Amino acid sequence: MDWLILFLSGVIGGVLNSIAGGGSFITFPALLFAGVPPIAANATNTFASCAGYISGAYALRHEIQSGTQQLKLVVGLCVIGGGIGAFLLLHTPEALFTQSVPWLLLFAALLFTFGGTLNKWLKKVTAKHKHATSAGAFFSAVLLLIVCVYGGYFNAGLGIVTLSYLALAGYTNINVMNGIKLLVSACASLAAIVFFVVNGSIDWPSGMAVLFGTLVGGYYSAKVSRRIPQQYVRTTVIIASFLITAYFFYAN
């Protein structure tokens, strides 16, 4: 029964990720409700989400290549940041991480809700500043590293955090931004997964159930996306994310 529930949560998460984002608000709590310990649930959710990042980045590979002239540097920073985040997670006491889960979910929920507004504001702020100086380039690199540390530590909300970083870095083409977002998410997640595998932190049966569900949901979401307005789906995700966050605050 748990396998079926996790598979269905993956299907829903895959559909949400394809239409409006926020699939981790379904898959991560589902893993917890299935009895997977919090740190293992987070590691497993990162594993289950990574296939979508990789396939999406491959689909937008031309946009990625046209959007950055320092691809090796970006990939390197993402791998280092994701590895650091995973290392920090694995050295966080289970009880402390359990207490932090509601706050991490709240942070991700707020980012998902107000991320669009934040990105618009950042684009206005950076419209006249392209960070061409050495100091600006260094700041941008450090910021990307921090984003990937977050992604390696807690995968939920990584897409919104990355888009905010890209807006601050001066990107304006949404297709390029989505491509780089997926590349960043894939590299940071893959680096984190290596640590999780070595540490034995991934619940493989649960992770495969969510992964297969995510692939099915993502595949069929094209038809769904034509029938359901994105704003309706987004509103539903926002409501669900805050309800789930409230539940975890109550449970703690």
Q: What pLDDT, in 10s, does the model give residues 37-92?
A: 999 999 999 999 998 888 888 888 888 888 777 888 999 999 999 999 999 999 99
Please report, rounded to a whole number, the percentage of residues in the chain having pLDDT higher than 70.
89
pTM, entire model: 0.83
Cβ(189)–Cβ(151) below 8 Å:
yes
Distances (CA, A) of 111 to 70, 118, 127, 198, 249: 27, 8, 22, 31, 18
Q: Residues 166-194: what's their mean pLDDT?
A: 87
Q: Distance between alpha carbon 124 and the CA centroid of its chain, in Å? A: 25
The residue extents of the domains of the chain are: 2-251
- The two counts, helices (H) then strands (E), for the chain are 11, 0
pLDDT, one tens digit per residue, over 215-229 is: 888 777 756 666 667
The predicted structure's pLDDT at residue 27: 93
